[in-house]
Amino acid sequence: MGSAPDGLRWTNGNLGEVVVSAKEIAGRVAELGAQVSADYADDPPLLVCVLKGALNFMSDLMRAISLPVEVDFMAVSSYGAATKTSGVVRIVKDLDTDLGGRTVLIVEDVVDSGLTLNYLRQYLGARGPKSLEVCALLLKAGEQRVEQSLRYVGFTIPSDFVVGYGLDVNERYRNLDAIYTYVGEA
C-alpha cells in the first residue's frame, strides 16, 4: 500500500492509500477467470456486468475466461453523487437478453451493504435463470446488512470509500488502474 504517484496530479490530492495495486488486480482476475472457466466448463455463463463500476473488471475477467461466454449489461443506481449508498435501488438500464433457463454470473464491482445486490438477485431471479451466481471484485468487510452468498470474491477490503479500476465518485477516477481510498469531498 502506498500513495498515488506524481503522475496523478489531476486527482487533486483526493486519493489516499493504494488499497489494491494494478499488479494485484491483474493476478487475481487471472485466477478468477481460471476458476470460472473450470466451474462452468460444461455450461458457459452469461456474464451480466453491473454498469458502470464493474466495466473494467468485466472487460478483464471475460478475457481471462477460456469459454465462449456471452455478455450483457445493466445499470443500477443506489449512490447518486454520494459516497454512501442510499439503500434505494433504481434500474437505469435493463438487460437485453432473456434469462430463462440460462446460467448467469453477475459481475459486480463492490459489495458493501449488500442491498443493491440483494435487489438485483431477486429482480433477475424472477426471470427464470437456470442458475444465478455472483462474482464481485471487492467485498467491504463488516458492511453487509443483508446476508450474501458470493461464489467469487476478488478482494476483501476495509469499509473505506474507494475509487479506481471502474469505481468512481461523481463519474471521476474510473480510469485509474489501481484502487485507492478516496479522501476528497463527495
Query: What are the catalytic residues?
Result: 112
Residues in the chain: 186
Tracing cell 450483457 back to the chain, one arrives at 72
Residue 163's CB is within 10 A of a number of other CB atoms, namely 27
Measured CA to CA, the distance from residue 146 to residue 96 in angstroms comes to: 28
Cell numbers representing residue 36 in the block: 470460472
Q: List CB contacts of 166: < 8 A, sequence separation 6 or more.
A: 52, 53, 54, 55, 56, 57, 109, 137, 174
Measured CA to CA, the distance from residue 170 to residue 19 in angstroms comes to: 20
